[in-house]
Chain A
């Protein structure tokens, strides 16, 4: 019998912050998104105070201060390193691992199915906790949807003590009959309200829905969900990242940008990064969009939204081509006299590099490919953007705002924790 696990880190970003800063233990903590915008992680104490996911920090600042909530800027360097450690710690406990997000992974536990999987999962949690200090919960089920649901149950209901195994019929029925249908993985708000109209409020009721009705009401997705809730896998553990339709590199600026040179420098960086992302996925792009705009929330200020879409012909993964296109777009859309606060480069029309349509007169593609490989190696080895093209008027006057970011505890020698011999 197939056994899928889902391991999920509890309040992952907060737990990472607490790993090296004990002053954060036992106090309400919120981690803010890039540029200190919104709450993207909350400790249990902060949840209890009513801080919600996505709350804009500046709007709830008074409440945070009143309750002594500590706000940390997001530190993706730290979270990424901790994720790597966690993946290494769970490696012994699963035959296959599919990374679902920075703090969640699906596991194929089928080869361990003849053992007590709850004990097995607890062994894995202990190892993760020991190596990294990060607490986790594990959900187990015959399908991904049920594993995800089991994880939510393990997190919410203390009777599971961190691990819920829904392979057992009685336990599965107990959980599904109490699980709100809107919280089922893949059920959106629109679908949930349609289901409510039919009197379907729990995951158990969704499971018992007629397949034909599910197809009529929702989409193939809903039909597959019903199948998965019945224990019929519609998606095996998928270790290959699905091919991406488009990708984007965008950032808000720490302080507004008013001159072309600085904007160009930022956009150049985004184009370089986008090229790196393309190559790491073995893709080429056919369309590039570059955009930059003023702060849309400050309506009393002059507004401008500049954007240009360019066709890349031939399709390419060459950073220098992307950079050239992005520069043309910025130059065409630029207008003086505005305070720009956000910019980005988006790539669309992506296909696998080997399926790229060939064109006549392409020039020396091989040679450029070698240059890109060298570029990626240098930047991978010596830090991002060590090697950049000597774009005219490169200026680095912008960086994301992060007023209270913790040190890169685990990845930078100058930042490692200090231990007192005193």
Chain B
């Protein structure tokens, strides 16, 4: 069992402008947390590091469950990231929007599913890689 000792910490109030809150307590101590105030964690900003070139899409189907992407998940698709072999991408195949893993096999590029029972698609003139999936978001309870 670890024991916990409380010490008196020498404390010197410093006059400094608070960024977020104005402490108007007329007497007493300024909040010791005031100087260390930071913005709340913004998961959106972490998921979407390049908002001007990123688009959110909703996944429908099960062909990428092997990559950990499920039906109903939200993905962040970047159009500024350079697609590389090994990336999960959104591609337009004959005008339909589909998500697969981009793989180089020999001379050719393929769109490869990650679940049993789905076919790989060869990248040809009817296929356009639209963007790279850079992040995934899922809620377990609404």
A422 and B61 contact, CB distance less than 8 A:
yes
B74 and A416 contact, CB distance less than 8 A:
yes
Chain B residues near A413 (CB, 8 Å)? Answer: 56, 74
Nearest chain-B residue to A412 (Cβ)? Answer: B56
User: Does B112 reach chain A (CB closer than 8 Å)?
Assistant: no
In the bound assembly, the distance between CA atoms of A271 and B71 in angstroms comes to 45
In the bound assembly, the distance between CA atoms of A130 and B100 in angstroms comes to 20
A420 and B79 contact, CB distance less than 8 A:
no
Interface residue ranges of A385-422 to B (CB < 8 Å): 409-410, 413, 416-422
In the bound assembly, the distance between CA atoms of A89 and B52 in angstroms comes to 7
B98 and A421 contact, CB distance less than 8 A:
yes
B53 and A410 contact, CB distance less than 8 A:
no
User: Does A84 reach chain B (CB closer than 8 Å)?
Assistant: yes
In the bound assembly, the distance between CA atoms of A133 and B77 in angstroms comes to 13
Chain A residues near B69 (CB, 8 Å)? Answer: 421
B98 and A420 contact, CB distance less than 8 A:
yes
Nearest chain-B residue to A84 (Cβ)? Answer: B52
A419 and B56 contact, CB distance less than 8 A:
no
User: Does A23 reach chain B (CB closer than 8 Å)?
Assistant: yes
Chain A residues near B53 (CB, 8 Å)? Answer: 85, 89, 130-132
A418 and B97 contact, CB distance less than 8 A:
yes
Among A23, A88, A410, A420, find the residue whose CB has the most chain B CB atoms closer than 10 A: A420
Chain A residues near B71 (CB, 8 Å)? Answer: 421
User: Does A22 reach chain B (CB closer than 8 Å)?
Assistant: yes
A298 CB, nearest partner CB in chain B, Å: 42
A406 CB, nearest partner CB in chain B, Å: 14
A419 and B59 contact, CB distance less than 8 A:
yes
Interface stretch among B10-18, B19-27, B29-37, B88-96? B88-96
A85 and B59 contact, CB distance less than 8 A:
no
In the bound assembly, the distance between CA atoms of A170 and B100 in angstroms comes to 51
B79 and A132 contact, CB distance less than 8 A:
yes
User: Does A25 reach chain B (CB closer than 8 Å)?
Assistant: yes
Q: Is the interface of B mostly helix, strand, loop or mixed?
A: strand
In the bound assembly, the distance between CA atoms of A89 and B53 in angstroms comes to 8
Assuming the contacts A130-B80, A416-B58, asked whether A421 and B63 have C-beta atoms less than 8 A apart, the reply is yes
In the bound assembly, the distance between CA atoms of A418 and B69 in angstroms comes to 14
B43-61 contact mask (Cβ, 8 Å, vs A): 1 or 0: 0000000011101111111
User: Does B102 reach chain A (CB closer than 8 Å)?
Assistant: no
Nearest chain-B residue to A86 (Cβ)? Answer: B52
A421 and B62 contact, CB distance less than 8 A:
yes
Among A84, A413, A419, A420, find the residue whose CB has the most chain B CB atoms closer than 10 A: A419
A25 CB, nearest partner CB in chain B, Å: 7
In the bound assembly, the distance between CA atoms of A29 and B57 in angstroms comes to 24
B55's contact among A22, A84, A410, A420, by CB below 8 Å, is which?
Answer: A410
B60 and A420 contact, CB distance less than 8 A:
yes
Among B56, B71, B113, find the residue whose CB has the most chain A CB atoms closer than 10 A: B56
A10 CB, nearest partner CB in chain B, Å: 18
Chain A residues near B79 (CB, 8 Å)? Answer: 130-133
B80 and A416 contact, CB distance less than 8 A:
no
In the bound assembly, the distance between CA atoms of A88 and B54 in angstroms comes to 12
A418's contact among B60, B63, B92, B113, by CB below 8 Å, is which?
Answer: B60
A388 CB, nearest partner CB in chain B, Å: 27
A421 and B99 contact, CB distance less than 8 A:
yes
Nearest chain-A residue to B67 (Cβ)? Answer: A421
Chain A residues near B56 (CB, 8 Å)? Answer: 410, 413, 416
A420's contact among B51, B65, B80, B97, by CB below 8 Å, is which?
Answer: B97
B64 and A421 contact, CB distance less than 8 A:
yes
B52 and A422 contact, CB distance less than 8 A:
no
A76-105 contact mask (Cβ, 8 Å, vs B): 1 or 0: 000000001100110000000000000000
Where the two chains meet, the residues of B that have a C-beta atom closer than 8 Å to any C-beta of A are 51-53, 55-65, 69, 71, 74-75, 77, 79-80, 90, 92, 95-100, 113, 118
Of the A-B pairs whose beta carbons lie under 8 Å apart in the complex, a sample of 17, sorted by A's number, is: A22-B92, A22-B97, A25-B95, A84-B52, A85-B52, A88-B52, A89-B52, A410-B56, A413-B74, A416-B55, A418-B60, A419-B59, A419-B60, A420-B99, A421-B113, A422-B61, A422-B98
The 9 closest A-B pairs by CB, nearest first: A88-B52, A421-B61, A131-B53, A422-B61, A22-B95, A421-B63, A421-B64, A85-B52, A419-B57
